Structure 1
Amino acid sequence: MAPLEQLVFDNTYARLPPGFAARVAPAPFPDAHVVSVNPAALRLLGLDAEAATRPEFARVFGGGQLLPGMEPLAMVYAGHQFGVYVPRLGDGRALLLGEVRAPDGAKWDLHLKGGGPTPFSRGGDGRAVLRSTVREYLAGEALHALGIPTTRALCMLGSRTPVYREDVETGAMLVRMAPSHVRFGTFEFFHHTEQPAHVATLAEHVIAGHFPHIMGQERRHARFFEEVVERTARLIAGWQAVGFEHGVMNTDNMSILGLTLDYGPYGFLDDFDPGFVCNHSDHQGRYAFDQQPRVALWNLACLGEALLTLITEDEARAALGAFQPAFAAHFLARMREKLGLSETRDDDRALVEDLFGLMAGSHVDYTRFFRALNRFDSKPDVRNDALRDHFLPPEGFDAWAARYRARLDAEGSVDTVRHARMDRVNPKYVLRNWVAQQAIARAQEGDFAEVDRVLALVSAPFEEHPGSEAYAASPPTWGRHLVVSCSS
């Protein structure tokens, strides 16, 4: 494992023409100190736990010391926020420290969030508060462990420096990692400012770095858009299958690589409510849980418009037309896994939708029900009381269970084999808002042990973790229907 000084930087974004970013020196907190390190992310960079114990670790990843090869910059972009185009956004509280080439050849952007003001801060202080930092730190690993493409978090740094939002809060910083931080809104910025050459440059940059199999092809830009549509469909299908609501799907929060990007007011479902809204600023429910596929397609249409100097309208429409079939296919594939089905049948969609209708009617806890379904007994004389007790009245579930049992029998399903398979796809632990809030409350008191405890649970969500069963429970009274602010 390499020491920090041996990290190799290959800053491809910094080599793009002027206008893609602003070079900015970080403004570190004077007392920045490491409060949690993600060992899985360390390994991705070729670092070990010992590296995080060195004094320079906090200085480097808190913005106080630049390693050879680091070139901090703030990326420019625009975006549609709640359906309204905002012409200039950009990294207002984040800095791309550099792009690390890991020993395995992978490339990782190191993004410092909370590192001070930039030309895109729009009058803000460029800081992040502890509560939002804890939430993003935990969420990236929670989704990654569930098999959802996402940014990751390397480490979290604390400070006693006050940050002013609705109230005085504690400041913090996060180092986020991703293969790229290019967004739909990055393309929108250059399109709407009538810089088609920069649209082309950006497209070639992304294709070279992340879609090399289409480089040099005559239709590479159309193929690029088609693949972004496919990746986005797969991402949203993953969100829907695990019961995750992003909360603020503005186009500037949409990754060109189909990653979950910018964790703000997100939430996992507790009771199954298709119209769940976790963002208290979303008064119209634009980004409600059941609206996410529709919004993703709308956002892709905005991206398609931004690419119209590179592709034809017919190519854009054809790519967009593939979204819904791709989403449906990926979603049903995930739901078959969650139901333990090994074959594809024409009535799969009805089986899933009818179950969801029953769950919504009885306010069934989404994660707990599917975890319990892992132990469904397919023998005809078994009522599966542990499952039917989730439903009031239970007769509706009994009728669905008869259909499910017949389906399992038709494909020759063996309970013990299916149970083991379902244990690997239906998590026991997800990052419920009340669990995150509990970790935040303790962190605000200076105790970060709960953050590390929750990180360990959500990083291995399918394991039992004896003694931690309370974290898999339905929310306590105070934690029901929590909504979260965009303020960070």
Structure 2
Amino acid sequence: MRYQNTYVHLDTRLYHKQPPTPLDNPRIGHFNMQVAQQLGWADDEDLMARWVEILGGQYLPADFEPLAMAYAGHQFGQWAGQLGDGRGLLMAQVLDNNDQPQDLHLKGIGLTPYSRMGDGRAVLRSTIREYLCGHALTQLGIPSSNALGFVVSDTRVRRERMEAGAALMRVADSHIRLGHVEWIASFAPDLLSEFTDYMIDTYYPECRQSETPVLAFLTAVVERTARMIADWQLIGFAHGVMNTDNLSITGSTLDFGPFGFMERFNPAWINNHSDHTGRYAYQNQPAIGHWNLNTWLPHFMRLEGVTRETLADCLAPYEATFMQHYQQGLCRKLGLPHQRDSLSLAFEWLTFLEDNLLDYTNSFRALLALVAPNDYPYEQQLLSTMMAELNDEANKVWQDWSARYLAQLQPLSMEQAFNDMQANNPAYVLRNSMAQRAITAAEQGQFEEVNRVFELLANPYDVQTIATDLDSAPPAPHAPQMPISCSS
């Protein structure tokens, strides 16, 4: 690998250097060869031969320089003070095969000075969920952290019960969060200028071409965040805990806790069982993204040339960027051009899904069978299942909407429409029930289901023979979607 360990050369107040605390008897959980090849890990015989020892904390390659990052954050809208890497270490930074920086971050590897009341460990169930979700979002084309692999061990960890300890090597283009700047502003304000230069030079070097590099950087972070959240909304993904310490400066999805993919369409869906007010409900994610950025930006007023007015200009593109990306994506999901009539049909469709509690992923995918019933047998089954759930009144609404939809498609290039619909409507997403079946088997020492789900989600837009009926089965229409705990 091409190491580029730069964070370790920043001011030592920003981190704590330490080795990982080994797990007992680490064993193979799953290995992501695609990520290994991307990083150059696959080209190193020593890394490949000893990856289980490395992820288990038992072997430290010479070029690794592990450290725990300090950061702060607002959690559920309230200032939480100092946080930091409480159970993970930034092990190394590298350039991947596309010359892009990537962080290797080992999660679940013991206590750090930032562990607070935690034990520094991760359990198998949460490790599997993060491993599969990072993979799923990446293959769906949504910017996200991914993972090189994970191990399970004999180390016992207490949560609601005693569970198997595990560790995951998370790979992300950056682990710098909005909360890093919040920490600096509160505890080391003299570092803000140096740290801002580091963020620009490392992750946004193109901003150096601007007459005002700092403002260009801040605007770019705003726009990337808006596009990421639009992607979440389009695919039906709910992060569940959008605290400022869980949002990356690069606009990539980070920190998978109580996440979920929408099943029965309910915009007010709360997938985090600790979110009693619904702050992080699916429909609130765009507004929370704006709130987080609006909380983050004023810290930069300490820098020369940055004023409240210029920061307002940096934040201003958020709404327009989000709406344009979301609306364009919504039209592509229907195979329609981005125009007013298309959007009108699209929002009518979403209302129809909500009114009838239809499955979000299956219903969009089923539209392929409406357009070309003889070419899409899998989608034809989805469409039949959807229509069987409609009462007489809903069926009339469907007939009216589908007729107007087909009429709007008719003058278009059907090949382009099919391509857009297939490329933007997955056949499979990581449903909570799917993840839970993989976890249940893994807790019995059987990882075949983890591998099957991993392979299925590697090509989520293609109908696959390894799929089962359960992979596409939503909960009963009025059954609550499984809420997920932050406990991990």
TM-score by length of structure 2 reads: 0.93
Q: Which residue of 2 aligns with 1:4?
A: none
* Superimposed CA distance per residue, residues 415-451 of structure 1 (whole angstroms, 9 cap, x where no aligned partner): 4552244222211110000000110111111111111
Partner of 2:482: 482
CA contact (8 A) 2:264 2:475 kept: no
CA 1:459–1:87: 2 relative to 1, 3 Å: same
Structure 2: segments with no counterpart, 5+ residues: 374-379
Q: Distance in 1 between matches of 2:437 and 2:74?
A: 33
Q: Which moved more, 1:475-484 or 1:295-304?
A: 475-484
Q: State the 1:157 CA deviation.
A: 0.6
Q: 5 Å matches for 1:250-329?
A: 250-310=243-303, 311-329=306-324
Partner amino acid, structure 2, of 1:314: E
Instruction: Confirm or deny: 8 A CA contact 2:128 2:439 kept in the other structure.
Output: yes
- Relative distance call for 1:367 and 1:390 in structure 2 (3 A) is farther
Secondary structure at the residue paired with 2:93?
strand
Contact 1:77 1:252 in 2 (8 A): yes
Q: Over residues 168-213 of structure 1, what are the superposed CA-to-partner deviations in whole Å (9 max), with x where a residue is unaligned? A: 11110000001210000001111123x3331222211111011111
- 1:373 equivalent in structure 2: 367
Residue 3 (structure 1) aligns with: none
1:476 deviation in Å? 5.2
Instruction: Quote how far apart the aligned CAs of 1:248 are.
Output: 0.3
Partner of 1:71: helix, strand, or coil? Answer: coil
AA of the residue aligned to 1:115:
I
Residue pairs, 1:61-460, within 5 angstroms: 61-193=55-187, 195-215=188-208, 217-310=210-303, 311-341=306-336, 343-377=337-371, 386=384, 388-392=387-391, 393-409=394-410, 412-460=411-459
Deviations 1:266-299 (A, max 9, x none): 0001100001111100011000000000100000
What is the match of residue 24 of structure 2? 30
SS at match of 1:175: strand
SS at match of 1:399: helix
**Contact 1:374–1:426 (Cα < 8 Å) also in 2:** no
CA change 1:355–1:52 in 2 (3 A) is farther
Q: Distance in 1 between matches of 2:445 and 2:204?
A: 44
The Cα of 1:480 is off from its aligned counterpart by 5.4
Q: Which stretches in structure 1 are left out of the alignment for 5+ residues?
A: 1-6
Output the CA distance in 1 between the equivalents of 2:369 and 2:327: 21
1:207-231 deviations in Å (ceiling 9; x for gaps): 1011111126441111111101100
Q: Is the 8 A contact 1:192 1:306 kept in 2?
A: no
Q: Which has the higher helix share?
A: 2
Compared CA separation, residues 103 and 242, structure 1 to 2 (3 A): closer
Letter in structure 2 aligned against 1:418: A
| 157-166 or 461-470: bigger deviation | 461-470
C-alpha contact 1:359 1:391 (8 A) present in aligned 2: no
Q: How many angstroms apart in 2 are the aligned matches of 1:429 and 1:323?
A: 30
Q: Deviations over 1:294-323 (max 9, x none)?
A: 100000111112222232111111222211
Q: Write the distance in 1 (CA, Å) between the matches of 2:228 and 2:184.
A: 25
Does the 8 A contact of 2:335 with 2:416 survive in 1? no
Distance 1:150 1:10, change over 3 A: same
Give yes or no for the alignment of 1:14 onto 2:15. no
Do 1:434 and 1:480's aligned partners in 2 also have CA atoms closer than 8 Å? no
Residue 161 of structure 1: how far off its partner (Å): 1.4
Instruction: Give 1:437's aligned amino acid.
Output: Q
Within 2, Cα distance between the matches of 1:263 and 1:231? 19
The Cα shift of 1:54 comes to 5.2
User: CA shift at 1:467, angstroms?
Assistant: 4.2
Distance of 2:466 and 2:84 partners within structure 1: 44
SS state at 2:370 partner: coil
CA pair 30-258 structure 1, distance change in 2 beyond 3 A: same
Looking at structure 2, the residues matched to 64 and 455 of structure 1 have their Cα atoms a distance apart, in angstroms, of: 26
Contact persistence 1:375–1:419 (CA under 8 A): no
SS at match of 1:25: coil
Q: CA deviation at 1:165?
A: 1.1
In structure 1, how many angstroms separate the alpha carbons of the residues matched to 2:123 and 2:103? 22
Q: How many residues align?
A: 474
Distance 2:342 2:46 in 1: 48
Distance in 1 between residues matched to 2:356 and 2:201, nearest whole Å: 50
Identity %: 39
Per-residue CA deviation, residues 337-377 of structure 1 (Å, 9 max, x unaligned), is 11011x22123332222111111010010000111112223
Whichever residue aligns with residue 90 of structure 1, its letter is G
**Counterpart of 2:377?**
none
Please tell me whether the aligned partners of residues 240 and 257 of structure 2 are also in contact (alpha carbons under 8 angstroms).
yes
**Superposed displacement of residue 88, structure 1:** 0.2
**Maintained 8 Å contact 2:456/2:466:** no
AA paired with 1:169? E
Question: Which piece of structure 1 moves more, 140-149 or 315-324?
Answer: 315-324
Distance in 2 (alpha carbons) for counterparts of 1:430 and 1:197: 45
Distance in 2 (CA, whole Å) between partners of 1:353 and 1:150 is 27
How far off is 1:236 after superposition? 0.4
Alignment-mate amino acid for residue 297 of structure 1: H
How far the C-alpha of 1:15 sits from its partner, in A, is: 0.7
- Secondary structure of 1:460's counterpart equals coil
TM norm structure 1: 0.93
Q: Distance between the aligned counterparts of 2:324 and 2:265, measured in 1?
A: 22
Q: 1:473 aligned to 2:472?
A: yes
CA distance in 1, matches of 2:65, 2:217: 28
In 1, Cα distance between the equivalents of 2:295 and 2:340? 33
Q: For the Cα contact (< 8 Å) 2:55–2:169, is it kept in 1?
A: yes
Question: Are the equivalent residues in 1 in contact too, given 2:41–2:47 (CA < 8 A)?
Answer: no
Gap change, CA 1:467 and 1:37, over 3 Å in 2: closer
